[in-house]
Structure 1
Amino acid sequence: MADKTQSREERRKQQQHSKNKGKKKSKGLVKKTFLTLVVLGIVGMLAGVATFAFMVKDAPKLDEKLLKDPISSEVFDMDKETITEIGSVKRDYVDYEDIPKMVENAFIAVEDSRFYQHNGIDVIRLGGAVIANITDGFGSEGASTITQQVVKNSFLSHEKTISRKAQEAWLSFQLERKYTKQEIFEMYVNKIWMAAGGHGVATAAKVYYGKELDELTLAEAALLAGMPQSPANYNPFEYPEKAEKRRNIVLTLMNRHGFITKEELEEAKSVDVVSTLVKEEDRPTGDIPYDAFIGQVIKEIKKKYPDLNPFSDGLKIYTTLDRKAQDHVENLLAGNAGVQFPDNKFQAGITLLDTKTGEIRALGGGRNRKGDFGFNFATDSKRQPGSTIKPILDYGPAIEHLKWGTYHMLDDKPYKYSTGQPINNWDNKHMGPMTMRTALALSRNVPALQAMQAVGLEQSKTFANGIGIPLKEIHEAYSIGGLGGKHDKGVSSLEMAGAYSAFGNNGLYTEPYSVIEVELRDGTKLNLKPETKVAMQDYTAFMVTDMLKSVVQWGTGTRANVPGQHIAGKTGTTNYDKAVREKHNIPWGAVPDSWFVGYTPNYTAAVWTGYANPNKNYLIGTEQKISQDLFKNLIQQVSAGDTEDFTMPNSVEKVKIEKGTMPAKLASEFTPPDQVLNEYAVKGNIPTEVSEKFDKLEMPSELKAEFLEASNEISLSWQHEGGDGVQFEVYGALNDGNEQLLITTTEKSVSIPVEYVGFYSFKVVAIREEMKSDPATTTLEIADPTTEEDIGEGSEDGTETDTGSGETGSGESGSGDTGDNGSGDTGTGDDSTGDHGTTDDDGSTDDEDTDNN
């Protein structure tokens, strides 16, 4: 028993031995794991160092000249010929000791608050950026110090790659070792691009404020310090509100970092930006050719590659510019190409595109422009489009989604918005039922609203967005160009040209662009061409185009027509709100904006005209036609000798419609030619009903005329198998007198008293509703019994009859062909207004429309 049983002490020792054995194994495992991690860390570190070394091995060497002098970029036209160099012409260099401390503090507060503490790389700032880039994607947040910005702007491309960042960090570290902080800051403030202010803060101080750097106020210094982040957007000449918001951010940061007091902050924030700027008439004139076009080039590059700086990165920029077209546009705006302007304040914005590619061939940024890259009336100005919006928001969507034909009938009648507010036409009149083509050609407002309501507002908005009209909301007033919503203040000439070019390009939309390709200093090429997309069906594009051709041929845009050219286009004017008109004493008939947007198969042009301040100046009389004159002049220049027409796609078929039918009906074999409309329909969607309006009833037969001497009457009788509802119109004439309607009857015989002797002619026409027969005719001669022995030779009863019939035509005039006896038929016919509307005495069509917002 004792041999088999262990004592308590023995068991305790045995358990302790087992525990010690387990601890030794555990400690061994931890030690191995630690050593493994150390080895992996060393290997990783060596790999990281090797990778870093590999990435920076091709980094450029520090070049003092490049550090201090920005490198200009070369701009080429569509033929790859050099236009100009940009970036190196305007700069006043300032030494560090001449930079006021207030100016330095403003830049450091907003760009790199720890500039004097780091060695070129701000690890604290970098940590936050790394986290953001991991969570939101590489390149989502920057952590560049002032030192890194100097390196980037001097030596490297602006692509957000790990390799480029590694090179940037390496060169920044080297820069900090070779130069003092003060020298690096001097490089920075002299190299930065300041939009119209050129390169460097000293140049900007003179351009924007007319001051030396040491004369700037706190508010002015803060504004300049805020500009380098986005010079074009914070240019105070063009965007004072944006500039002021950015300035206030800089002031807040200066206060946060202890550079200014709370009182100084509030005082500087209260300064009005515009009041401190150089007056417009004192601003420097520009010296960059085609600056309206090149300004758009710069915008596109900055939009697609925000880190690229065309003014200092030494780029090769290949553009779409047609130099001849651009020269002509600038001559037009200068008044040197045949179009005259009422005064020097009159403005215009012009965009010329290649219809098929969307390439911008020329831009007219305005008249009497000062400085480089100033406000561009072709790209920056947002004005209400008036009736030029109708193809985009009304008729285009209706064809696209409802498959309306160009003959679709709409009723121009007294009408209201869904809110109950009346909508008016430009002439305060109504023309009744009309085709969609006529409604668009004559720019009627009521049918336009009806079209939008039929297709639905959201469909209209989506259609517009798809061709580059960036609507954020939609209201019924938009149907006639009243873009007065909270977010939608208007459209630019560039946007309208892009939208219309899609109609001219079989429904394919390409966002208008001016830059084809950019080549970086290291040879890297960046393709900036936007993708072309299908924006609508080809039948929509073609039918809108064909209707817009009517605008130019006989509608409101005849003044823009170029003989021999196939042009589609639309006029548009806007109107003043009643309160605005009364407040500023603006006369009735004056308008703030006049547009013409049109295209050929090869070119699209959008022309806006008006004044910068429409409450002080307005367009009146023939001034409202200058937009058409500019369009015509430009198209004549660029399309000389071009006879290409738009091609009908297979999705469309021709159809003959009878004028005035509502809903539209096919013309019958009896429809007179002048009542037939040659229109277009989406294939498979033509009307199924044939009009019977002009179908002919059977002609009365056996028409006889007999003189009854006893009662001194003429008895007329005839036969007809027309059935119920048929009436008969009986016409008569004596000798060479006018034909008159004698009676309308349901009977097949009538008696006519005889008062005079002579030669009588009669005509009987069968009618039922709008249908008429050919006339049956006969004649009868009654001689004077005192001079003639025989009355009515040729028949025993003294009558002579001729039942031959002559054809009549029915139409708007109601006139017909003569019968066999040579007498003419007056008939009755439609009085309906012709489908092309009314015209002035000189034969020109009434024009123009206004929105009614």
Structure 2
Amino acid sequence: MADQYQSREERRKQLAAKKPKKGKGKKSPRGTFKKIFLVLIALGIIGMLTGVATFAFMVKDTPKLDEAQLRDPISSKLYDINGKEFAEVGSVNRDYVAYEDIPELVESAILATEDVRFYDHNGIDVIRLGGAVIANITDGFGSEGASTITQQVVKNSFLEFDKTLSRKAQEAWLAFQLERKYTKQEIFEMYVNKIYMSEKSHGILTASKIYFDKELSELQLHEAALLAGMPQSPENYNPFKHPDNAEKRRNIVLSLMNQHGFITKDEMQAAQAIPVESSLVKAENRETGEDQYDAFVDAVIEEVQAQGDFDIFSDGLHIYTTLDQDAQTHVEHMLNSNEVVQFPDDEFQAGITLLDTKTGEVRALGGGRNQQAKRGFNYAVDTQRQPGSTIKPILDYGPAIEYLQWGTYHTLDDKPYTYSDPKKTPINNWDNKHMGPMSMREALAKSRNVPALQALQAVGLNKAKDFAVKLGIPLEEIHESYAIGGLDKGVSPLEMAGAYSAFGNNGFYTKPHTVKMIELRDGTKLDTAPESQVVMKDYTAFMITDMLKSVLSNGTGQAANIPNLHVAGKTGTTNYSSDVKKANGIPNGAVPDAWFAGYTTNYTAAVWTGYENQKKNYINSKDQKIAQQLFKNLMTHVSKGKETADFTVPKTVEKVAIEKGTIPAKLASEFTPEDQVIYEYAVKGNRPNQVSDRYDRLDSPSNANASYEQASNEIVLSWDYNGKADGVQFQVNASINGGAAQQLTVTGEKSMRVANVVAGGTYTFTITAIKGEQSSEPASVSVSVPAPVTEEEEFEEGEDEQGRNREEEHEEDDDGDQSDEGEGDNPGNGNGNGNGNGNPGDPGTQPPGQPIPNPPGTPPSP
């Protein structure tokens, strides 16, 4: 056995030796593949189990299907600034349509747009989902949806509208259950009756009646396509308010219908060629609404829709707004009566926006006068009209201060001027006149167009555009004509109020908004208020504000001024072209638009006035003040009983004294006359460097001398001048016995003679050096003219002389000595010196104020 065992061991060793040896470190490929396969299977199982567990976790709180919620939307409630409910927005306006009454044309349009494989899937379109997944990976989660009609039904009925994986999982789970419980036809019926279609309405049939006044069976292809495209963004595709957007969307739907074989190419092109507005219900025939604060509620609806995938009419939201009911009531009273303002006619329209200056919260909206259409055109939000001169602080002077550090004194020349286009097109002021050099303050207050264009050109178009865009003015391009409000697209009162509020809020801009917070059905609260942004330096905001005060105090906006209220603002009017005026018989002085935008530290308001049809109707010169009157009344009402602080001067600003008319602006000198000095503001560190020398003092004349020549009865006046004599002349004034001074002459000589002087008078002369507007301190000199001697005085003098002779003789006899010198000079010699200190002589009886008897150069009387 041992031998046998040994032989088996040997044979085994021999067999093993014959097998090829494996290389070191190498493994069997078959074994490696097997291990990888097993690992993948394990990972797949783990992943599947993890996915199932995750999905189960996500859908554990999914609400149960509720048929009432599937078919009946839940209304939302609106609250004012004090938390008081003021409106309930729900689906009261809905006409229900059964599936069998939905025309094939309408169904095809909806399927092509929303879910072309609706009848082939079980609630989730795997193909569409795959495309959406790829898009979400490349563009970010939430960039593209893959919701089927079934998913949209459950989403609109049960789920919140956040784009999260959890919510999408719940949506898919509910869609699967819905497909198991209801037929495709029932689900489609739910969808077409539940969808929001703008105009406070739900359902395709309701929309058909609102927009076309037709039953579904009466709709044409282009009309059905328009309705099918609206649910994606009902407010943006509302054909009453945004016909251009609605037409683009409709044409996309028609293209999809052709792509999926529902219509031919010819049918598509024929329908796309039809204008959207051609078959819409006319404005005067639209359904009237009786809702309170309709204009404000309209703005809330649009803002909520823009916040996310919300349906304000069916989601049961609690919406906390910025509404001040008192202000809103007053705005509507102003617009819909003649008690505050006398409107020219019922067609005259106005749009008003009232904001909180500091927060950008909309306190009230005036959507128009005598509004008849339910959710009609909102002139406060939707209108796009040229702003006229109200744009000047935004595009011209604001950027000039922000980027060039201009002071409010900066001098501009209101002169004949042109745009910089190749044709050198002239720019005119509203009065077709020019006022010459003026400060930026004066140019803005008087709304001069030429200086405004000069400011825009100095800043540059791109910087001006950037400045305006930061203030919420949606400029896509800019031209020099924008300097005076000739915008191609136009702006709304809401946008203008938002821009002006930044000037009143130290350079902080907050986008105007009507909604502060949205509370969902599950109690989740969403803060929707936009954040404030710094859009300009505080010195820019203050200096624009201070200049806009001048508009109301002594400029074009005096009709809007409110006594005892610190308010700033700007007027604006637009013009008709000569061709339009001629074609429509519009008189000179008439305008299509009149604006006023202004603010206090508490409130900002923008008011537009005009007509819907600008060529048919125009604003005459008298009614151009209505915008200012509405502003004044509204601002007075909301400011009553509230402290309104003045605008504070920031530390970046300093006050400077500027001499009027200096180009470039110069500081006033100590000699500048007070009536030629203006006190303005400069950016600290950027005040003018030069001091004006226009009114500098010249050197004064010296050595003034006046003497009386008895022989010719003249006064000889002379003086010296040691200063620069180029162009210097001398103004000589004189007065007698302290009376009023009279100008004798202006001469280039340094001497003169005054003839036929009055005996016994004391003459005072002043000599002033002058050159243009410069002058010197005057030099003065006085001289007295001897009075005539009477007979009595001659007799007395003779006796006195005899007496003196006797005394002298007596002294001579006593002392034997004679005096060499008398006791005094002749008191009437009339000689004077440069200080007027000569012996004055006898002033005589000449009364004060005696006029100079002869002009200079008159020869003495014989």
Q: TM range, normalised to the smaller chain?
A: 0.7 to 0.9
* Matches of 1:240 and 1:715, distance apart in 2: 94
User: Mapping of 1:380-779 within 5 angstroms?
Assistant: 380-419=382-421, 420-484=424-488, 489-641=489-641, 642-700=643-701, 703-711=704-712, 713-725=714-726, 726-731=728-733, 741-754=743-756, 762-776=765-779
Tell me the amino acid that sits aligned with residue 319 of structure 1.
T
Tell me the amino acid that sits aligned with residue 752 of structure 2.
V
Aligned pair in 2 of structure 1 residues 297, 437: CA closer, same or farther (>3 Å)? same
Aligned pair in 2 of structure 1 residues 45, 407: CA closer, same or farther (>3 Å)? same
Per the TM alignment, residue 580 of structure 1 is displaced from its structure 2 partner at its CA by: 2.2
Q: Which residue of structure 2 lines up, in the alignment, with residue 3 of structure 1?
A: none
Aligned length: 796
* Matches of 2:38 and 2:639, distance apart in 1: 79
Whether the 8 Å CA contact 2:112–2:260 is kept in 1: the answer is yes
3-state DSSP of counterpart to 1:680: strand
| Structure number with larger C-alpha Rg | 2
3-state DSSP of counterpart to 1:195: coil
Instruction: After superposing the two structures, state which structure 1 stretch, 728-737 or 250-259, moved more.
Output: 728-737
Whether the 8 Å CA contact 2:783–2:836 is kept in 1: the answer is no
Q: Which residue of structure 2 lines up, in the alignment, with residue 249 of structure 1?
A: 252
* Matches of 1:347 and 1:687, distance apart in 2: 47
Compute the TM-score of the two structures, normalised by the length of structure 1.
0.87
Can you list the C-alpha shifts for 1:371-409, whole angstroms capped at 9, x where unaligned?
333221111111111111111111111111221111111
For the aligned residue pairs, the C-alpha RMSD in angstroms reads 3.2
Whether the 8 Å CA contact 1:794–1:800 is kept in 2: the answer is no
User: Mapping of 1:20-59 within 5 angstroms?
Assistant: 25-59=28-62
3-state DSSP of counterpart to 2:199: helix
Whether the 8 Å CA contact 1:197–1:205 is kept in 2: the answer is no
Whether the 8 Å CA contact 2:91–2:200 is kept in 1: the answer is no
Q: Which residue of structure 2 lines up, in the alignment, with residue 816 of structure 1?
A: none
Whether the 8 Å CA contact 2:736–2:851 is kept in 1: the answer is no
Whether the 8 Å CA contact 2:95–2:203 is kept in 1: the answer is yes
* Matches of 1:797 and 1:394, distance apart in 2: 74
Per the TM alignment, residue 737 of structure 1 is displaced from its structure 2 partner at its CA by: 11
Whether the 8 Å CA contact 1:86–1:288 is kept in 2: the answer is no
Q: Which residue of structure 1 lines up, in the alignment, with residue 357 of structure 2?
A: 355
Tell me the amino acid that sits aligned with residue 557 of structure 2.
G
Per the TM alignment, residue 80 of structure 1 is displaced from its structure 2 partner at its CA by: 1.0
3-state DSSP of counterpart to 1:526: strand
Aligned pair in 2 of structure 1 residues 787, 602: CA closer, same or farther (>3 Å)? farther
Whether the 8 Å CA contact 2:736–2:848 is kept in 1: the answer is no
Can you list the C-alpha shifts for 1:773-813, whole angstroms capped at 9, x where unaligned?
2444567787997999999x9963457999789xxxxxxxx
Per the TM alignment, residue 264 of structure 1 is displaced from its structure 2 partner at its CA by: 3.5
Per the TM alignment, residue 425 of structure 1 is displaced from its structure 2 partner at its CA by: 1.4
Aligned pair in 2 of structure 1 residues 561, 758: CA closer, same or farther (>3 Å)? farther
* Matches of 1:433 and 1:502, distance apart in 2: 30
Whether the 8 Å CA contact 2:319–2:517 is kept in 1: the answer is yes
Tell me the amino acid that sits aligned with residue 360 of structure 2.
G
* Matches of 1:12 and 1:20, distance apart in 2: 18
Tell me the amino acid that sits aligned with residue 564 of structure 2.
G
Tell me the amino acid that sits aligned with residue 375 of structure 1.
F
Q: Which residue of structure 2 lines up, in the alignment, with residue 114 of structure 1?
A: 117
3-state DSSP of counterpart to 1:571: strand
Per the TM alignment, residue 284 of structure 1 is displaced from its structure 2 partner at its CA by: 0.8
Per the TM alignment, residue 411 of structure 1 is displaced from its structure 2 partner at its CA by: 1.4
Q: Is 1:312 aligned to 2:321, yes or no?
A: no
Q: Which residue of structure 2 lines up, in the alignment, with residue 811 of structure 1?
A: none
Q: 2:369 aligns with which of 354, 367, 370?
A: 367
Instruction: After superposing the two structures, state which structure 1 stretch, 258-267 or 244-253, moved more.
Output: 258-267
Whether the 8 Å CA contact 1:197–1:207 is kept in 2: the answer is no
* Matches of 2:851 and 2:775, distance apart in 1: 16
Q: Is 1:282 aligned to 2:314, yes or no?
A: no
Instruction: After superposing the two structures, state which structure 1 stretch, 178-187 or 468-477, moved more.
Output: 468-477
Per the TM alignment, residue 120 of structure 1 is displaced from its structure 2 partner at its CA by: 0.6
* Matches of 1:571 and 1:525, distance apart in 2: 41
* Matches of 1:158 and 1:547, distance apart in 2: 48
Tell me the amino acid that sits aligned with residue 204 of structure 2.
V
* Matches of 2:276 and 2:446, distance apart in 1: 46
Q: 1:60 aligns with which of 54, 58, 63?
A: 63
Can you list the C-alpha shifts for 1:24-79, whole angstroms capped at 9, x where unaligned?
82212211111111111011001100100000000000000000001111111111
Tell me the amino acid that sits aligned with residue 694 of structure 1.
Y
Aligned pair in 2 of structure 1 residues 749, 24: CA closer, same or farther (>3 Å)? closer
Tell me the amino acid that sits aligned with residue 363 of structure 2.
R
* Matches of 2:359 and 2:493, distance apart in 1: 17
Per the TM alignment, residue 362 of structure 1 is displaced from its structure 2 partner at its CA by: 0.9
* Matches of 2:455 and 2:646, distance apart in 1: 28
Can you list the C-alpha shifts for 1:93-138, whole angstroms capped at 9, x where unaligned?
1111222222222211211111111111011111111110111000
Per the TM alignment, residue 733 of structure 1 is displaced from its structure 2 partner at its CA by: 7.3
3-state DSSP of counterpart to 1:677: strand
Q: Which residue of structure 2 lines up, in the alignment, with residue 140 of structure 1?
A: 143
User: Mapping of 1:72-91 within 5 angstroms?
Assistant: 72-91=75-94
* Matches of 2:221 and 2:793, distance apart in 1: 123
3-state DSSP of counterpart to 1:228: helix
Q: Is 1:303 aligned to 2:306, yes or no?
A: yes
Tell me the amino acid that sits aligned with residue 527 of structure 1.
D
Residue identity (%):
64
* Matches of 2:281 and 2:458, distance apart in 1: 53
Q: Is 1:326 aligned to 2:328, yes or no?
A: yes
* Matches of 2:446 and 2:792, distance apart in 1: 68
Whether the 8 Å CA contact 2:355–2:497 is kept in 1: the answer is yes
Aligned pair in 2 of structure 1 residues 15, 709: CA closer, same or farther (>3 Å)? farther
* Matches of 2:826 and 2:84, distance apart in 1: 96
Instruction: After superposing the two structures, state which structure 1 stretch, 521-530 or 36-45, moved more.
Output: 521-530
Aligned pair in 2 of structure 1 residues 706, 237: CA closer, same or farther (>3 Å)? same
Structure 1 unmatched ranges of 5 or more: 1-10, 806-819, 826-853
Whether the 8 Å CA contact 1:406–1:681 is kept in 2: the answer is yes
Q: Which residue of structure 2 lines up, in the alignment, with residue 833 of structure 1?
A: none
* Matches of 1:824 and 1:31, distance apart in 2: 134
User: Mapping of 1:835-846 within 5 angstroms?
Assistant: none
Aligned pair in 2 of structure 1 residues 629, 356: CA closer, same or farther (>3 Å)? same
Compute the TM-score of the two structures, normalised by the length of structure 2.
0.87
Per the TM alignment, residue 301 of structure 1 is displaced from its structure 2 partner at its CA by: 2.0
Instruction: After superposing the two structures, state which structure 1 stretch, 143-152 or 587-596, moved more.
Output: 587-596
* Matches of 1:513 and 1:42, distance apart in 2: 52
Q: Which residue of structure 1 lines up, in the alignment, with residue 194 of structure 2?
A: 191
* Matches of 1:409 and 1:84, distance apart in 2: 53
Tell me the amino acid that sits aligned with residue 191 of structure 2.
Y
Can you list the C-alpha shifts for 1:224-259, whole angstroms capped at 9, x where unaligned?
111111111111112223222222222232233333
Can you list the C-alpha shifts for 1:807-833, whole angstroms capped at 9, x where unaligned?
xxxxxxxxxxxxx977999xxxxxxxx
Tell me the amino acid that sits aligned with residue 466 of structure 1.
K
* Matches of 2:579 and 2:152, distance apart in 1: 52
Aligned pair in 2 of structure 1 residues 334, 15: CA closer, same or farther (>3 Å)? farther
